[in-house]
Amino acid sequence: MSLRRVVKLATGQDVNLCHACFDCDLPLSDEMDIPLGSLIQLVLQNDEEALHCRTLWSDPVLEASRGACKRGLDLHAVLLALREESRRRIGLYEQRKMPSCADKS
């Protein structure tokens, strides 16, 4: 499932509303490896880097994201949905790595 669809289903937020104006970029450079606006662009491109970047996991960025989008996109909700999706995908990856019962003989 695309990241855009994951966000839409989890939050009702349509990241297609992002016009790449980058007004949402925050002055928290120590907390971010990519700007918040670029993170949203990664979601639009279905780039999994969005799920692994330091920006996504920064609590100061999460808090500062409230009201950061002038177009009304709830970036706080988007970030929470992406965090959850990252955890879900990591869990699926870990399950695939685990040997099955048949492999233990």
The reported pTM is 0.84
State residue 73's pLDDT score: 96
Instruction: Give domain limits for the chain.
Output: 3-99
Give the separation between CA 12 and CA 26, rounded to whole angstroms: 23
The pair of structure tokens assigned to 51 is 């799920």
**pLDDT tens digit at each of 105 positions of the chain:** 999 999 999 999 999 999 999 898 888 778 889 999 999 999 999 999 999 999 999 999 999 999 999 999 999 999 999 999 999 998 765 655 545 455 544
